[in-house]
Structure formats: structure tokens, C-alpha cells
């Protein structure tokens, strides 16, 4: 039961209920669509990128608590950050949710995103947490191809 509490921490439940940065921000110049064929969830991430900085970000979509909260927290984490730093965050988030569940998580490295450490105990749910990040990454790269978790 404690594992469940780890997964559904209050921060996650809060961001699920009241997701931040939803919708398409004005002046969005990058976007990508993400798709999880396993559950049928879809998500679009819009970015305003200027001078190699993510000035604004928003997302549109419907998903489970983990995927909604992850998208919401991601937007907070990357807003205003240089693209280079956002790319680093993308890598470390992936590392966080796929690392050994027994490994200690350094809260100073992940900040608020550390709440997703609980996902490690639920391998079937890792894709829920990473969908938005992959979608955002694809938007940054401007690949234009819809992202799939499969």
C-alpha cells in the first residue's frame, strides 16, 4: 500500500486535478503530438521557443493521473529554461523513472519532479510519465512526426 502512496503522492493528485499550463500558448512555434497506443491517450505539447529559450509551454490532452500530472509538472519545470537545459532535464527525467527502484533519489537534482520516483515500482506505468517528455522533445527537435510510446 505504501507503494501506491508513493505513486499517487499529493503533488501528483493535485496536478492531475488542476493541471497547470494547459492549452496552446500565444505565439507557439513548435508543437508535437504524443500518443500512447496502449491506452489510447493523446497529448499535444506546444512550445514558444525564442533565442534557444523555452519562453512558454502548454499542453492539450486527456490522460491518466500520472500522465496529466507529469505533463503539468513538466511545463513548470521547463518554462523559461534554455533549450540546452531542457534537453538535460529530459535525459535525467528518463533516468529517474527507469532507474532501479531501490536507488536513492537526489531531491536537489530533480526538484519537484522527484515525486515521479514512485513510478519506478510500476513498470507498466513508466510510459504514462514519459509520454509528455518525449512529445516535448519531439516538438523541440521539430521532427513533426507524432510520437508513440510503442
Partner 1 sequence: MSFDAERARKDFPILDQSVHGRPLVFLDSAASAQKPQSVIDAVSHLYSRDYANVHRGVYELSLRATLALEGAREKVATFLGASARDIVFVRNATEAINLVARTFGRVHVGPGDEVLVTHMEHHANIVPWQMVCEEIGARLRVAPIDDSGELILEEFEKLLSPRTKIAALSHVSNALGTVNPAQEMVRMAHDRGVPVLLDGAQAVPHGRVDVGALDCDFYVFSGHKLFGPSGIGILYGKPERLEAMPPFLGGGEMILSVSFEKTTYAGVPHRFEAGTPDIAGAVGLGAAIDYLESLDLDAVAEYERELLAYATERLREIDGLRIIGTAAHKIAVISFVLDGVHPHDIGTILDQEGIALRTGHHCAQPLMERFGVPATARASFALYNTRSDVDALLAGLRRVREVFA
What is the closest distance, in whole angstroms, from the C-beta atom of residue 77 to partner 1 in the complex?
A: 22
Residue 64 binding partner 1, by CB under 8 A: yes
- The DSSP secondary structure of 9-27, one letter per residue, reads -HHHHHHHHS-SSBSPPTT
Nearer to partner 1, 38 or 143 (CB): 38
Contact call for residues 44 and 33 (beta carbons, < 8 A): yes
Per DSSP, the three-state class of 54 is strand
Q: Which of 19, 20, 76, 122 binds partner 1 (CB under 8 A)?
A: 122
Distances, alpha carbon 57 to alpha carbons 39, 47, 78, 108, 119, in Å: 24, 5, 8, 23, 24
Q: Considering only 20-28, 34-42, 84-92, 104-112, which stretch makes contact with partner 1 by CB under 8 A?
A: 34-42
Q: Which of 28, 30, 41, 44 binds partner 1 (CB under 8 A)?
A: 41
To the nearest 10 degrees (0 to 180), the angle between helices 65-78 and 83-98 is: 150
Q: Considering only 25-33, 38-46, 50-58, 75-83, which stretch makes contact with partner 1 by CB under 8 A?
A: 38-46
Residue 8 binding partner 1, by CB under 8 A: yes
25 CB-near residues (< 8 Å, 6+ apart): 46, 48, 56, 57, 58
- Chain residues binding partner 1 by CB under 8 A are 1, 3-4, 7-8, 13, 17, 38-42, 62-66, 68, 122, 124-125, 128
Amino acid at each position: 500500500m505504501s507503494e501506491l502512496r508513493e505513486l499517487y503522492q499529493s503533488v501528483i493528485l493535485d496536478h492531475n486535478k488542476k493541471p497547470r499550463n494547459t492549452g496552446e500558448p500565444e505565439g507557439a512555434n513548435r508543437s508535437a503530438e504524443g500518443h500512447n497506443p496502449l491506452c489510447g491517450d493523446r497529448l499535444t505539447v506546444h512550445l514558444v521557443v525564442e533565442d534557444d529559450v523555452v519562453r512558454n509551454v502548454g499542453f492539450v490532452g486527456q490522460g491518466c493521473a500520472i500522465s496529466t500530472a507529469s505533463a503539468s509538472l513538466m511545463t513548470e519545470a521547463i518554462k523559461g529554461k534554455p533549450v540546452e537545459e531542457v534537453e538535460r532535464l529530459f535525459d535525467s527525467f528518463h533516468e529517474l523513472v527507469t532507474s532501479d527502484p531501490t536507488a536513492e533519489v537526489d531531491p536537489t537534482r530533480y526538484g519537484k519532479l522527484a515525486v515521479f520516483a514512485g513510478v519506478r515500482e510500476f513498470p507498466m506505468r513508466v510510459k504514462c510519465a514519459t509520454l509528455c517528455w518525449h512529445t516535448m522533445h519531439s516538438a523541440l527537435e521539430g521532427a513533426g512526426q507524432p510520437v508513440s510510446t510503442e
